[in-house]
Amino acid sequence: MFDFKNKIVFITGAGAGLGLGCAIGFAKAGAKIAVADLSEKAVASAIAELTALGADTLALHGDVSKASDVQSMIDQTVATWGRIDVAVNNAGISAPIRPVAETLEEDYDRVMGVNLKGVWLCMRAELQVMLKQNSGCIVNMASALSQRVYPCASFYVTSKFAVAGMTRTAAVEYANTPIRINAVCPGNVATPLVLSTVDDLDSLASLHAMKRLGTPEEVANAVMFLASDLSSFNTGTLLPVDGGWTAQ
């Protein structure tokens, strides 16, 4: 369905979960994948899986909340392949579920550092490359919780509202260039982490009108749509992939 043959795709948080799902989708479509993640073990595992699919890969290790790490990963990608055609800013974390009065400053700093500052740092570096090459697509990983709230998850919800706002603002800023900037807004997805840590999967599924969890492949398909020429008139789009959660 999608053709990304020889396209250079940079993906953060690509060692597992949605990031790995996106990497697999792009790899199957012929792309060269820069696999960026904080965990060296996760990167090695992802590289092995993508290589088995025949993909040309680049292993990158870094913390997206640190400007020097982000710049290093972007520089390594450009030094290896000469450009970045698609950037998927997926790296994200959550915090312990707590009411606001019981939240901790270190949790706030950690979540905002990765989920919001990380997206900003990546977009800034990616845009500098894409402006020089006069082409490119950026897809940010927002959330259904960019439009809905979830009690006791204030830091995560706030970070994803902010990602949505940053995505749309940047998209308008660069709308007169060949660079498009969009975001996907997934609902609850059956990643290995969710399946292994959540006891009551039925309650998560019940939030969606379709009464089931999404799959990494379904989210990856939405990301690839926004990164492809099929969405050539889309910029500033917040695309729900949430089984009808936000439609209710």
Dist. CA 38–CA 35, nearest whole Å:
10
Crossing angle of helices 105-112/154-173, nearest 10°?
A: 30
- Cα of first residue to Cα of last residue in the chain, in angstroms, is 30
Q: Which of 108, 150, 156, 174 is the catalytic position?
A: 156
- Nearest alpha carbon to residue 23 among 2, 47, 41, 5: 47
**Contact of 109 with 66, CB cutoff 8 Å:** no
Q: Which H/E stretch holds residue 221?
A: helix 216-227
* φ, ψ of residue 170 in degrees (nearest 5): -65, -40
Number of Cβ atoms within 10 Å of the Cβ of 221: 17
> Tokens in use for 17?
């979960």
HSE of 203, CA atoms in CB hemisphere, 13 A: 5
156 an active-site residue? yes
Q: Tally the residues of the chain.
A: 248
Catalytic site positions:
156
